[in-house]
Amino acid sequence: MICALVLAASVTCRAQGRASPSTAYEVDMDVNDQPGAIPDPDQEQLPSALRRQVVFFRSTEAPGTIVIHTSERFLYVVMPNNRALRYGIGVGREGFQWAGLLKITRKGEWPDWTPPPEMIERQPYLPRFMAGGPGNPMGARALYLGATVYRLHGTNQPETIGHAVSSGCFRLVNADIIDLYDRIPVGTKVIVRQRPEL
C-alpha cells in the first residue's frame, strides 16, 4: 500500500540490500518506535561525522534544493559555489527505501502522529494516534513530501540517526529538523537517491 501511494507520486519504491558498512554509523539497527520516550540532551549529541556542517558538494541543482543520499545517511541542502549544508539522517530500513523527485507540500510544528494501517499491522503495539510533543516519534517538526505518507521529521530516538530503521521517512535529531524547517519553504524540490552519482 505504501509503495502504491509512492508510485502514484512518481517515486520508485524498492528494497535495497545491505552494503558492507564502511563506518560504524552505517550499520542497520533493529529498532522499534518508542512512543513516549523522551531523550535527554546528551543523547542528541551526534558523532562528529553526522553533525550538521557545510561540506563540498558538486551539484547542478539550484541553491535551496534538498538532495538525500540514502546509502550515505545524509541530507544535503544545496548552497552556491559547490557547497551544501549536510545533516546526518536516519533512513528507511531494508524493504522501505525508495528514490524519487518530490516537493515539500506542507510543514508542521510538533506534529501529531497517526501510524498508517500497514505500520499498525507490522507493529500492533503502536498507538493509533499520538498528539505532538517531546515523546512523539515525529519529533519537533515535519516537512511533508508530496502526496505520499513520507516526511522529513524529528525523532525521539536520536540513536537511530545514521541507521536504516524507519518505514520510509527520513529522521533528523530535533535541533537539526528545527534548523531545516526554518530554512526550507513549502515548494522546495527534494531529490531522493539511493546511491551517489559519479
Q: Which three cell numbers stand for residue 50?
A: 553526522
- Which position among 13, 69, 153, 163 bears the catalytic label? 153
- Which position among 13, 69, 163, 169 bears the catalytic label? 169
Establish whether 169 is a catalytic residue.
yes
Establish whether 153 is a catalytic residue.
yes
91: which strand partners? 164
Q: Please tell me the distance from the alpha carbon of residue 169 to that of residue 171, in angstroms, as a whole number.
A: 6
Q: Using CB atoms within 10 A of its CB, is residue 52 exposed (0-12), middle (13-18) or buried (19+)?
A: middle
Number of helices (H) and strands (E) in the chain: give both, helices first: 3, 12
- Looking only at Cα atoms, what is the longest distance across the chain? 48
Q: In sequence order, what DSSP letters do the residues of 39-60 get, joined into one string?
A: --GGGG---GGGS-EEEE---S
Q: Which three cell numbers stand for residue 106?
A: 506542507
Q: Which residues are catalytic?
A: 153, 169
